[in-house]
Amino acid sequence: MADQHAFIAAAIQQSCGADREANLAHSAGLIESAADQGAQLVVLQELHTGPYFCQEEATDVFDRAESIPGPTTRFLGELAAELGVVIVGSVFEKRMAGVHHNTAVVLDSDGSLAGCYRKMHIPDDPGFYEKFYFTPGDASADAFRPIQTSLGRLGVLVCWDQWYPEAARLMALAGAEVLIYPTAIGWDPEDDTDEQARQLDAWITVQRGHAIANNLPVIAPNRHGFEEAPDGSGHGIQFWGNSFICGGQGELLARSSVEGDDILLATIDPDRTDALRRIWPYLRDRRVDAYDHLTRRVRD
């Protein structure tokens, strides 16, 4: 018999258009379908209320930002309460004039706002000009802290955070029972097929590595579809989908394809982490006395 602490998680993969309300309605339909299939935790992708606007730097885009609590958290909170599920969503947050964040929000099964996580690692690459829009989350004692919900402690991080083992490890040390990475990542259409394959493989492999190194399951939903550059140059991003859920030994429990909306379902059993850590005791054997240089930018 399955452990009563186990629950069914869903990762939602979808494309996003320019109409915010249509995107939310589409997400709601996928969440409802996931709940009908038994999901108790539903994770949406990064910045799911609209197109990925960070392909350019434009000041009028800040008009899209909203407060927390605000319209998106109210919408998702009502849906969470109606369906009795925990929902992880994403908000372009306006914290105050001139301070904006890329923020994951967690709505508990009673509709309450259980907590939020402000993206800590902010990229600035061609097509991903996030530093123009987002202030990193505060580096305080609350950084990389899991969010307590009715299902357990969720280690919520966001996209670019997924490349940093430090973020995953700190979440694990703070008691996270699952690592969650809402994502918006894709290819430059000018990349050749071999380079695209290398990038996708790296993205999946690094997150499976976090699962293995911390004995924790990972949920990583990503958007799909081509989004043209706002300047009409013909360039853009082909978001590569491939959302997945893996277990605490990196084993793939569910994986989507490149294209198409999808609902991935998998059973998450936090108690399995205890069993894994008894035979793979990475945390026991850490040499914390020898890691001081990790707090430096470069080791001299």
* Residue of 16, 116, 159, 246 with catalytic role: 159
Q: Is the dihedral of CA 108, 180, 45, 96 positive or negative?
A: positive
Spatial contact of 136 and 129, defined as CB atoms under 8 Å apart: no
DSSP 66: B
SS3 label, residue 100? strand
Encode 163-222 in three state secondary structure: HCHHHHHHHHHCCCCEEECCECCEECCCCCHHHHHHHHHHHHHHHHHHHHHHCCCEEECE
- Region at 260 (left for phi over 0; alpha for psi -120 to 50; beta for the rest): left
Spatial contact of 88 and 129, defined as CB atoms under 8 Å apart: no
* Residue of 46, 93, 177, 227 with catalytic role: 46
Residue 159 designated active-site: yes
Cβ count near 95 (within 10 Å): 14
* Residue of 93, 116, 119, 177 with catalytic role: 119
Residue 131 designated active-site: no
Residue 246 designated active-site: no
- Our CA angle for 216, 179, 202, nearest 5°, is 90
Catalytic residue ranges = 46, 119, 159
